[in-house]
Amino acid sequence: MTPAIDIHNLTASYERKPVLWEIDCQFPQGKLIGIVGPNGSGKTTLLKNIMGLMKPDSGYIRIFGEKLDKVRHRVSYVPQRETVDWDFPADVMDVVLMGRYNPKKLFGRISREDKDIAIEALSRVNMLEFANRHISQLSGGQQQRVFIARSLAQKADLYLMDEPFVGVDAASEDAILNLLTEMKNNGKTVVIVHHDLQTAYEYFDHIALLNTRLVASGAAEEVFTSDLLQEAYGGRLTVLSRIGELIAKKDFPIREKGQEEN
C-alpha cells in the first residue's frame, strides 16, 4: 500500500533559521501516528510543510503518492488551538460548518447536507448540545473538540492534528482519544503532533521521534528504546543549532544552486 505520507529529504526553516534537517521518512496508512519530540524540535514545522503552509528549502512530500493539491480534499488539518481568534463572532455550528466551505465556489452556500454532516461531526465529539454556544464561552477542551468536529466535517482520509491534547481537561482527552481510535478502525490515518512522552507510547502505533533531525521513525515498540529517547530528548546538537543561527543572521542560502557533483 502506498504510504499515507512520504517525506523526502526535507529541510525547512522558520524565520530563516533551519529547524528541520534532511527529514526522510514514511507514514503508513490506517494507523495512529505520533510526531514526538521536545519543545522547539520542529514538530509543528513538519506538519506545516506537509500541509503546504510553508515552503521547504529542499526536498518534497507526497501524500497518498500524489502532490498535495491533487489530494487536498482527502486531507484535513487541525492547527494548534491558540493560533486562532476564539473571540471571533461565531458560534460552534458556524465553526464546524467551515469544514464544508469550498474554496472553488464563489457565492458559496451551505446546503442541508452540509448541515447534517456538521451535526453528525458535533455529536461524534459529544458537543451537539453546544451547537449554538458562542465559541468564546467554551473551555479549552471543548474548543479543541469543536476544532476536531470541523475536521471531521471535511470527510477526509488523512487527518493531521497539532497538539490536540494541550490544555484539555480529562473528559475531553478521553473523548478525543476514543474518537481517534474509532477513526483508525474506520481505516483513517491520523497523524498527531505530541510533546508528552508519558502518554505517547500508549496513544500511538507508529512514532516519529524528532529533534530538528529525525531520530527514529517506526512502530512504537521499536522506537521507544531508552537509547533513542535519550538521543531525542537529551539535548540539542550544539553545532547544528549554531550553524542554524549563523544562516539566519548572515542571510546565507541553505541550498546552493548548481552544486558540485559528489
Minimum distance from residue 219 beta carbon to other proteins (Å): 28
Residue 34's CB is within 10 A of a number of other CB atoms, namely 26
Q: Considering only residues 34 through 63, tell me which ones interact with other proteins, judged by CB under 8 A.
A: 48, 51-53
Q: Do the bridges between strand 213-219 and strand 206-211 make them parallel or antiparallel, or are there none, so unpaired?
A: antiparallel
- Residue closer to other proteins by CB (options 51, 200) is 51
23 binds other proteins (CB under 8 A): no
Interatomic CA distance for residues 161 and 142, integer angstroms: 15
Instruction: Measure the CA–CA gap between 253 and 154, rounded to whole angstroms.
Output: 38
The set of cell numbers assigned to 209 is 521521534
Going by their DSSP bridges, the two strands 158-162 and 75-78 should be labelled as parallel
Q: Which is nearer to other proteins, 1 or 250 (CB)?
A: 250
User: Which residue in the set 12, 19, 32, 75 belongs to the binding site for other proteins (CB under 8 A)?
Assistant: 75
Q: In terms of CB distance, is 57 or 94 closer to other proteins?
A: 94
Applying CB under 8 A, does 219 fall inside the site for other proteins? no
d(CA 80, CA 93): 19
Q: Which is nearer to other proteins, 51 or 232 (CB)?
A: 51
Residues 183-212 that bind other proteins (CB under 8 A): none
Query: Per the structure block, which three cell numbers stand in for 141?
Result: 477542551
Strand arrangement, sheet containing 32-36: 75-78, 158-162, 189-194, 32-36, 206-211, 213-219
Mark 84-123 with x for binding to other proteins (rule: CB under 8 A) and - for no binding: xx--xxxx--xx--xx-x-xx-xxx---------------
- Provide the sign of the torsion angle of the four alpha carbons 12, 161, 39, 220, taken in this order: negative
Least Cβ distance, residue 71 to other proteins (angstroms): 11
Site residues, other proteins (CB under 8 A):
48, 51-53, 69, 72, 75-79, 83-85, 88-91, 94-95, 98-99, 101, 103-104, 106-108, 134, 150, 154
